[in-house]
Amino acid sequence: MAATRIEGEDELVGTFLAPLAAGFPGALGLKDDCAVLAPSPGCELVLKTDPVVAGVHFFADDDPADIAWKALAVNVSDLAAKGATPRIYLMALSLPEAPEREWMARFAEGLGAAQRAFGMHLAGGDTDRTPGHLSIAMTVIGEVPAGKMVRRAAAQAGDALYVSGTLGDSALGLALGLDAGLATRLGLTADEAAHAIGRYLRPAPRVALAEALRAHARAAMDLSDGLMKDLGRMCRGSGVGAHVGAVDLPLSPAMRRALDAEPGRIRDVVAAGDDYEILTAVPLAASAEFEAAAQRSGIPMTRIGEITSAREVFVLDAQGQPIEPGRSGWDHFQSR
Amino acid sequence: MAATRIEGEDELVGTFLAPLAAGFPGALGLKDDCAVLAPSPGCELVLKTDPVVAGVHFFADDDPADIAWKALAVNVSDLAAKGATPRIYLMALSLPEAPEREWMARFAEGLGAAQRAFGMHLAGGDTDRTPGHLSIAMTVIGEVPAGKMVRRAAAQAGDALYVSGTLGDSALGLALGLDAGLATRLGLTADEAAHAIGRYLRPAPRVALAEALRAHARAAMDLSDGLMKDLGRMCRGSGVGAHVGAVDLPLSPAMRRALDAEPGRIRDVVAAGDDYEILTAVPLAASAEFEAAAQRSGIPMTRIGEITSAREVFVLDAQGQPIEPGRSGWDHFQSR
Question: What gap in Å lies between CA B79 and CA A32, rounded to an integer?
Answer: 11
Residue B326 lies in a domain: no
Report d(CA B261, CA B188) in Å as an integer: 10
Among chain A residues, CA nearest to B44? A38
pLDDT tens column, A25-43: 999 999 999 999 999 999 9
Q: What local confidence, expressed as pLDDT, does residue B326 receive?
A: 56
- Is B3 domain-assigned? no
- Find, among B141, B108, B87, the residue nearest to A48 by Cα: B141
Does the beta carbon of A91 lie under 8 angstroms from any beta carbon of chain B?
A: yes
User: A234 to chain B: which residues are within 8 Å by CB?
Assistant: none
* The total number of structural domains that make up chain B: 2
As a whole number of angstroms, the distance between CA A216 and CA B298 comes to 53
Distance from CA of B169 to the nearest CA of A (A): 22
Q: Do residue A35 and residue B47 have CB atoms under 8 angstroms apart?
A: yes
| Of B313, B125, B286, B169, the residue nearest B218 (C-alpha) | B286
Domain co-membership, A118 together with A169: no
How many CB atoms are located within 10 Å of the residue A300 CB?
14
Q: Is A321 exposed, middle or buried (0-12, 13-18, 19+ CB in 10 A)?
A: exposed
CA distance A240 to chain B (A): 15
Q: Which CATH number goes with the domain that contains B46?
A: 3.30.1330.10
Query: Same domain for A164 and A305?
Result: yes
B216 and B307 inside one domain? yes
Single-letter code of the amino acid located at B335: S
ipTM of the complex, rounded to two decimals: 0.92
Residue B92 to residue A137, Cβ atoms within 8 A: yes
- Interface test with chain A among B34, B43, B234, B276, by most A beta carbons within 10 Å: B34
Spell out, as residue ranges, where chain A has pLDDT lower than 70.
1-2, 325-336
Confidence band (pLDDT; 50, 70, 90) for B105? very high
Cβ distance B46 to A31 less than 8 Å, yes or no, reads: no
Q: How far apart are CA B254 and CA B269, in angstroms?
A: 12
Instruction: Compute the distance between CA of residue A56 and CA of residue A70 in angstroms, rounded to an integer.
Output: 12
Residue B3, pLDDT score: 74
d(Cα B180, Cα A120) in Å, to the nearest integer?
50
Residue type, A298: G
Residue B82 backbone phi and psi in degrees, to 5 = -90, 0
Torsion angle defined by CA atoms of residues A231, A232, A238 and A240, in that order, rounded to the nearest 10 degrees: 100
Q: Are B183 and B287 in contact (CB under 8 A)?
A: no
Per DSSP, B40 falls in state: P
CA B64/CA B107 separation, integer angstroms: 5
Mean pLDDT, rounded, for B297-310: 97
Q: What per-residue confidence (pLDDT) applies to A59? A: 86
Q: Kindly state whether residue A295 falls inside one of the protein's structural domains.
A: yes
Chain B residues whose CB is inside 8 A of the A49 CB are 90-92, 124-126, 137, 139
Asked, for residue B239, whether it belongs to a domain, the answer is yes
Residue B200 and residue B304 in one domain: yes
CA distance A269 to chain B (A): 21
- What would the pLDDT profile of B253-281 be if each residue is shown by its tens digit? 999 999 999 999 998 999 998 999 999 99
A-B interface: how many C-beta pairs under 8 angstroms?
224
Q: Does A48 touch chain B (CB under 8 A)?
A: yes
Quick one: B88 and B170 in the same domain?
Answer: no
A266: CATH: 3.90.650.10
Residues B219 and B140 in one domain: no
Residue B25 at interface with chain A, using a CB cutoff of 8 Å: no
Of all residues in chain A, the percent with pLDDT exceeding 70 is 96
Domain-ending residue, one of B118, B145, B172: B145
Q: 224-283 in B: which are within 8 Å (CB) of A?
A: 237
Q: Which residues pair with B139 in a beta bridge?
A: B49, B90
CA–centroid distance for A162 within its chain: 16
Q: Are strands A241-245 and A313-316 parallel, antiparallel or unpaired?
A: parallel
Q: Which residues of A touch B141 (CB under 8 A)?
A: 47
Average pLDDT over residues B111-138: 93
pLDDT value, residue A129: 85
How much is the pLDDT for A333? 63
From start to end of chain A, where are the E strands?
A: 35-37, 43-53, 85-95, 121-129, 135-145, 160-164, 219-223, 241-245, 277-282, 301-308, 313-316
Rounded to 5°, angle at Cα B304 from B303 and B308: 105
pLDDT of residue A77: 98
Q: Mark yes or no for CB contact B221/A332 under 8 Å.
A: no
pLDDT greater than 50 at residue B335: no
DSSP annotation of A260 reads: H
The neighbour count for residue B322, using CB atoms within 10 Å, is: 13
A109 touches chain B (CB under 8 A): no
Q: Is the Cα dihedral B118, B120, B125, B129 positive or negative?
A: positive
Kindly provide the residue ranges of all beta strands, DSSP E only, lying in B219-271, ordered along the sequence.
219-223, 241-245
Q: How far is CA A333 from CA A82, A315, B9, in A?
A: 26, 25, 6
Which chain A residues are closer than 8 Å to B46 by Cβ?
34-37
Closest chain A residue to the Cα of B26, Cα to Cα: A46
The verdict on residue A222 lying in a domain is yes
**B53 → closest Cβ in A35, A127, A132:** A132
Residue of chain A whose Cα is closest to the Cα of B230: A33
Mutate to test the interface with B, among A7, A46, A47 (most CBs of B within 10 A): A47
Instruction: Give chain A positions within 8 Å (CB) of B125.
Output: 49
Same domain, yes or no, for A172 and A312?
Answer: yes
Rounded distance between C-alpha atoms, residue B65 and residue B109, angstroms: 6
Question: So what's the pLDDT on residue A236?
Answer: 95
Chain B positions touching A135 (Cβ under 8 A) are 94, 130, 132, 135
Q: Do residue B49 and residue B20 come from a single domain?
A: yes
Decide if B36 is inside a domain: no
Nearest CA-CA distance, residue A126 and chain B, Å: 5
Mean pLDDT (chain A) is 93
Distances in Å between the Cα of B233 and the Cα atoms of A33, A73, A118, B161, B279 are 11, 33, 33, 14, 11
Assess whether A141 and A191 both reside in one domain.
no
pTM of the model: 0.93
Instruction: Give chain A positions within 8 Å (CB) of B221.
Output: 32-33
Closest CA to B75 of B128, B27, B17, B122: B122
| Interval A201-237: pLDDT, tens | 999 999 999 999 999 999 999 999 999 999 999 999 9
- Provide the β-strand partners of residue B245: B316
Eight-state DSSP code of residue A16: I
Distance from CA of A218 to the nearest CA of B (A): 14
DSSP string, A84-137: PEEEEEEEEEEESSPPBHHHHHHHHHHHHHHHHHHT-EEEEEEEEE-SS--EEE
**Helices then strands, each counted (H, E), chain A:** 11, 11
Q: For residue B2, what pLDDT is reported?
A: 57
> Are residues B91 and A49, on separate chains, in Cβ contact within 8 Å?
yes
3-state helix, strand, coil in chain B (%, to 5): 40, 25, 35
- Residue A306 · residue A158 · CB < 8 Å: yes
Residues 6+ apart with CB under 8 A from A72: A89, A111, A114, A115, A118, A138, A140
> Which of B39, B50, B94 has the CB atom closest to A39's CB atom?
B39
Cα–Cα distance between A292 and B34 in angstroms, integer? Answer: 27
Q: How far apart are CA A123 and CA A142, in angstroms?
A: 12
Query: How large is the average pLDDT for residues B62-83?
Result: 97
> Positive or negative CA dihedral for B157, B159, B164, B168?
positive
Cβ contact B332–A133 (<8 Å): no
Q: What is the pLDDT of residue B45?
A: 98
Is the pLDDT at B24 greater than 50? The verdict is: yes
Task: Look up residue B214 and give its amino acid.
Answer: R
pLDDT, position A141: 98
User: Measured between CB atoms, does B46 come within 8 Å of chain A?
Assistant: yes
Smallest Cβ–Cβ distance between B153 and the set A6, A32, A90 belongs to A32
Closest CA to A240 of A307, A291, A299, A194: A307
| CA A268/CA A280 separation, integer angstroms | 20
- Tell me: do B204 and B308 sit in the same domain: yes
Pair B88, B55 in one domain:
yes
Interface probe, candidates A36, A78, A279, chain B, greatest B C-beta count within 10 A: A36
Contact indicator for A88, A21 with CB cutoff of 8 Å: no
Amino acid (one-letter) located at A124:
G
CA separation for the pair B78, A219 (Å, rounded): 37
Distance CA(B307)–CA(B296), nearest Å, equals: 25
* Residue range(s) defining the domain that contains residue A196: 160-316
Q: Is residue B265 part of a domain?
A: yes
Same domain, A99 and A71: yes
The verdict on residue B127 lying in a domain is: yes
Q: What residues of A are in contact with residue B223 (Cβ under 8 Å)?
A: none
Rounded CA-CA distance A51/A54 in Å is 10
3-class DSSP state of B148: coil
Percent of the residues in chain B that have a pLDDT greater than 70, as a whole number: 96
